[in-house]
Copies of this chain bind each other. A is one copy, B any other.
């Protein structure tokens, strides 16, 4: 073995994440590491918290970044809120809804699934029906932006229905945060998790989460210890929230948090509404370009995510060959289909820093040349 430094090429990342990352964020990652209990670092963490509150549109005190990827953020929400025997309605319209079911079961909870077809939004009436049939449900869980299909669900309406049935809501915002409208407090979301590597355009590895006061109260009333020590938010909060003295829980991923801080500063400086509008505008441009190539979307127009465009692979086209050529000849990554859509769809991300005109033009040009 004679290992050398790894020198990655510069790719244009238009898959389902990680997304294109600005040089400002990449450069922040390599700033000198300081201690995770250093007063200067703690000051930065306070800013990260405030910036996440802005991004999530929430005043929730319990707003922070889990020191692990989005799937750990998902798990953090479930293990902290659920206790054995708790019934959870899980709306499922793609891979990540199924993963929620896995999480419920591994916490000893009972998952009642409400299914919608892949590529479609969740049907609010089905949730209502399920809640009437299962009045002992304690939680409603759903994915706001299904990364596996590109479908957007109406989080505001789903949360209102859940509230009317006295359920706490657990929302997957991995792909939605920063890309489309999302208002945690206004919509009454109780627990929400996201990922750093989608519309925030930071490197993968961190999961922003937020818990409402009602969720925090629920956590405080637990009779069973949270099954994960690492994800036990009552312990983590002593580090994040502790004004004055912060107590040690685990060593925070210092440099990754530099990157998240920088990415959130960029989002704040642009402004949330402008970022949402930019994603929508770029999606429109991509849509027009793909139409000229006769490439159709999987998801009906009004249910489409601007940041994650799942499209039918044209007939007589070799899926893997096209993706491989885009990567090898154009340094351009798009995503394969996942789950039911494997081999049937491409997933084209326009996320965060990646949602810009030159990326779209490059992809359309490359597809014209290859197809």
Q: What is the interface of chain A, defined by CB distance below 8 A to chain B?
A: 1, 3-11, 13, 15, 17-18, 21, 24, 26-36, 38-41, 44, 47, 50-51, 54, 67-72, 74-75, 99, 102-103, 105-107, 195, 197, 203-205, 225-230, 248-256, 258-259, 261-262, 264-265, 268, 327, 333, 338
Question: Is B8's CB under 8 angstroms from A327's CB?
Answer: no
Residues of B within 8 A of A13 (CB): 33-35
A39 to B102, CA, bound (A): 29
Q: Please name the residue on chain B nearest to A324 by beta carbon.
A: B39
Partner of A229, one of B3, B24, B54, B102: B102
Q: Please name the residue on chain B nearest to A75 by beta carbon.
A: B230
Q: List 19 A-B contacts (CB under 8 A).
A: A1-B268, A4-B265, A6-B262, A8-B31, A8-B44, A15-B35, A17-B251, A18-B251, A21-B32, A21-B33, A26-B30, A28-B30, A33-B203, A33-B204, A69-B252, A71-B250, A106-B228, A195-B251, A203-B253
Partner of A203, one of B4, B105, B250, B254: B254
Q: Please name the residue on chain B nearest to A197 by beta carbon.
A: B251
How many chain copies does the complex carry? 2
Interchain residue pairs A-B with the least CB separation, the first 5: A205-B253, A68-B68, A30-B30, A71-B250, A203-B255
Question: Is A253's CB under 8 angstroms from B7's CB?
Answer: no
Question: Is A32's CB under 8 angstroms from B28's CB?
Answer: no
Question: Is A258's CB under 8 angstroms from B18's CB?
Answer: no
| Residue of A69, A70, A102, A327 with highest tally of chain B CB at under 10 A | A69
| Residue of A30, A35, A230, A252 with highest tally of chain B CB at under 10 A | A230
Known: A34-B333, A255-B256. 12 other contacts (CB 8 A): A1-B54, A8-B32, A18-B36, A18-B254, A29-B30, A33-B203, A67-B72, A69-B252, A106-B226, A195-B251, A205-B256, A228-B228
Q: A69-B250, A204-B252, A256-B205 are in contact. Are A32 and B6 (CB under 8 A)?
A: no
Residues of B within 8 A of A31 (CB): 6-8, 26
A106 to B35, CA, bound (A): 29
Residues of B within 8 A of A259 (CB): 255
CB distance from A198 to the nearest CB of B (A): 9
Residues of B within 8 A of A30 (CB): 26-30
Question: Is B69's CB under 8 angstroms from A251's CB?
Answer: yes
| Residue of A8, A17, A327 with highest tally of chain B CB at under 10 A | A8
Q: Please name the residue on chain B nearest to A8 by beta carbon.
A: B34
Question: Is B265's CB under 8 angstroms from A3's CB?
Answer: yes
Question: Is B15's CB under 8 angstroms from A26's CB?
Answer: no
Question: Is A11's CB under 8 angstroms from B38's CB?
Answer: yes
Question: Is A67's CB under 8 angstroms from B3's CB?
Answer: no
Q: Please name the residue on chain B nearest to A333 by beta carbon.
A: B35
Residues of B within 8 A of A29 (CB): 29-30, 255
Q: A18-B33, A229-B99, A251-B17 are in contact. Are A28 and B6 (CB under 8 A)?
A: yes
Residues of B within 8 A of A38 (CB): 11, 327, 333
CB distance from A10 to the nearest CB of B (A): 4
A252 to B69, CA, bound (A): 8
CB distance from A338 to the nearest CB of B (A): 7
CB distance from A62 to the nearest CB of B (A): 19
A253 to B67, CA, bound (A): 11
Residues of B within 8 A of A327 (CB): 38-39
